[in-house]
Chains A and B, each alone.
Chain A
């Protein structure tokens, strides 16, 4: 536990009270858990605060904790260029997974969120252009979910795939995005 952890923790607690849970410091990264509806506010706070200045978004990562109830998780890794600190924000989501987009805070979030949508079907609300990024348009299912078979589903092009239909319902199709 280092000096900056208590500083970051105090500043976050001052602003957000008990809403942001602290998950400790390990391997050089301070971790916090945030409810999904607070995420944009928290990111804006961390980025804009004159002492913290977490101005660089390293990564956004989707996680599937199948078969837990709060099945999905989005993990944000932030870096402070002036202070050389790293912060991880974790955000657990239910099914269907929805979380506000942070593209308004960092433009780089655009492709990271598209990737998480493509691979896990996590919907980032307010994203300007939430399309698939790796898989082609019209692909069914979200390949990195734990219940998606490693070799995909059997069809004419994939004779080695698993039997059974893709688990994703068409209501999650890209067209529904407002």
Chain B
């Protein structure tokens, strides 16, 4: 027995411990992009987290200062690349406010319809990706199948699957194509049942529930203090949705519920997104029912290209306007505007200062993922390293938007 006591540590003396620095990322599947988390580990516990971002920084704001307003649309596509129509819409609304114009009603319906399709596409990815990060692979495969349907619909409208750039200042690029309504009705019929499928795949998965329920709790006060928005804040019980509280476009004509949960944990954030997809389907169906006939673009030849080009061919004035618009863009009156919409990730705001020229003097993007990522500071302390993955996944940051 004496040998054993020699080998074991002396009584009353603490074991020598050391904090370990661990790099999670920049290339790590659970970071959903190029995010590097420098973690200070105390055994299995995370003592401190320091996110290093900027690996995808493209200088969107600086670039925008040298682009005309129409040229900026493709830049906004590349912010949150899972849901470009929302970003297009947010930017178009800001410029329209500065110009003092409004898109025709039909265009507004088309934009809202696309924004809600984008919301489904964005939420679908995280609906599947969060369980996958935690080891339940199946949900993602099914979610991707339905996301493909959304992609097909967006492709049908705009010709592009991801970077649609379909919005224009004062409307949208084209009218909806023939045969679109039956396709999207079919999607609206199928999709709610498929949401039920995802829920059933995960609801009884005890590993998923154990790793998300009660994990990464953010209180409402902390959430507001850290600037979280969108489903991340609503999962903490804050009843705030810009679509309802500051209605833009035609959201005041649509009936939908704002989904909130009280728990504020990873599961609540996941659940909020799943429920929101149901509401998006409701909104899309109402859009289809209510959508009036009419122009899809504002009739202002100095701002939007004419739908009917006949005039350009026989009127000198129309020709000059057309040339001017394509060569130099349009001028926006001096002023500043902050315009925010409820993007899938949260409050997406564009702050534009115009000096009266064709290019913005300053364009600031209030990117929801950038702010939501700070939610890591609200939850991560004294948690297991494995919980970090769940927390990170449930906050749903898109790195392209974080890094702008």
Contact = CB atoms under 8 A, between A and B. Distances in A.
Interface string B216-243: 0000000011110000000000101000
B246 A84 contact: yes
Given A81-B238, A134-B57, A144-B62, A111 B353 contact: no
Interface residues of A, number: 33
Interface string B343-379: 0000101010100000000101010001101100100
B403 interface: yes
Given A63-B362, A81-B238, A111-B370, A134 B224 contact: no
A108 B403 CA distance: 16
B338 A27 contact: yes
Contacts of B57: 134-135
Nearest to B246: A84
A134 B371 contact: no
A53 B51 CA distance: 31
B257 interface: no
B403 A107 contact: no
Contact of B224 (A26, A55, A77, A88): A55
A132 B338 CA distance: 25
A150 B63 contact: yes
B97 interface: yes
Contacts of B347: 58
A77 B338 contact: yes
Nearest to A137: B52
Interface residues of B, number: 38
B224 A81 contact: yes
Nearest to B373: A111
Nearest to A64: B362
A61 B403 contact: no
B284 interface: no
B187 to A, nearest CB: 33
A88 B338 contact: yes
A24 to B, nearest CB: 11
A61 B364 CA distance: 7
A50 interface: no
A93 interface: no
A133 B53 contact: yes
Contact of B227 (A64, A108, A119, A134): A108
B97 A106 contact: no
A92 interface: no
A144 B245 CA distance: 33
Interface in B324-347: 335-340, 347
A27 B339 CA distance: 8
A55 B246 CA distance: 17
A99 B199 CA distance: 49
Interface of B: 53-54, 57, 59, 61-63, 66, 97-98, 224-227, 238, 240, 245-246, 335-340, 347, 349, 351, 353, 362, 364, 366, 370-371, 373-374, 377, 403-404
Given A111-B374, A134-B404, 14 more contacts: A56-B227, A57-B227, A59-B338, A59-B366, A64-B362, A77-B349, A88-B338, A107-B377, A112-B371, A119-B61, A133-B54, A136-B54, A143-B59, A144-B62
Interface of A: 26-29, 55-59, 61, 63-64, 75, 77, 81, 84, 86, 88, 106-108, 110-112, 119, 132-136, 143-144, 150
Q: What are the 7 A-B residue pairs with the smallest beta carbon separation, nearest first?
A: A108-B227, A134-B54, A61-B364, A59-B366, A134-B57, A27-B337, A27-B97
